[in-house]
Amino acid sequence: IALGLFFWLAFPPIVRDARELSQQLPDHVQRWLNWAHQHLPMTARLDQNDLKRYAELLIGGIGDVFRNVTNGMVKFVTVILLAAYFILDGQASFEWMMALFPREQQPRLRATLERGGSRMRRWLGGQGLLMLAQGVTALLAYWLLHVRYFYVLGLLAAIFNIIPVLGPVLTLVAAGLVAALDGFGKVLGVTIFYLVYHNLENAFLNPRIMKSRVHLPAVTIIISLVIGEAVAGIVGVLIAVPTAALISEIVREYLIKPHTKPASAAESTSG
């Protein structure tokens, strides 16, 4: 039912906004270049042909992203359906996998995988709530400010929320560039919303929603996202951090503990 409501209410306007933005992007980029040339003295020393070439590369890359939005959403729904399947039938699959290992190794492996699975579930649940909160509030704010393409910008805000440190910056840059098409007032409104929301998120939402997060360093999360996107696109991004959490638990159990236990034992013996 939830997926049906999503496709009925949200998917069509997102695709419409994405298609419109993709078609109008060359004109928008040219307007940004003209504004920069007039108001930023440093750009006067730059070769305009180089700027146009970089802009064309930007247009091509962003255009590909928006032209493939339908494919990406289909993959996203596929991941959701697979996740639902593993939630409903995951225990049977887990027991089948455990049976492939020698019996004497199963208790330790089972405990390790269960700890890793618990970390994965906590991260997925918390991050999903944060992405939903970011996407919905951004969409409403951009709609109230009459910012163009607010459906796509709301979706991007939700997606960028998964990226530590850089995600909020990318959200503000994307929304600010679009708002700049209609004047400084909308840029100011977007910036104020950004500052208020992210202060609220850091002070209130993060401590409560993500208090049981995976405790992975930000650089590890960013690297896992880059690798996931390179290997499997949007599907890889969606499973990158949970997979990194599981791998870190396995590494801690099978590579770190065997080296720390003898050292601890030696210290206690010498004491």
Q: Provide the pLDDT for residue 74.
A: 61
Domain residues of the chain, as ranges?
1-67, 79-257
Closest among 15, 128, 8, 133 to 68, alpha carbons compared:
15
Is 0.85 surpassed by the pTM of this model?
no
116 and 250 in contact (C-beta within 8 Å)? yes
218 and 165 in contact (C-beta within 8 Å)? yes
Closest among 212, 222, 204 to 164, alpha carbons compared:
222
120 and 246 in contact (C-beta within 8 Å)? yes
Q: Provide the pLDDT for residue 192.
A: 94
Q: Provide the pLDDT for residue 21.
A: 66
Q: Provide the pLDDT for residue 143.
A: 92
Q: Using one digit for the tens of pLDDT, what is the confidence trace for 20-60?
A: 766 666 676 667 667 666 666 655 555 556 655 665 555 55
239 and 228 in contact (C-beta within 8 Å)? yes
Share of the chain above pLDDT 70, in %: 58
CA distance 147 to 145: 5
Given a cut of 80, whether residue 6 has pLDDT beyond it is no
SS3 for 129-150 is HHHHHHHHHHHHHHHHCCCCCH
Q: Using one digit for the tens of pLDDT, what is the confidence trace for 194-244?
A: 999 988 888 888 777 765 566 677 788 888 888 887 887 766 777 788 888
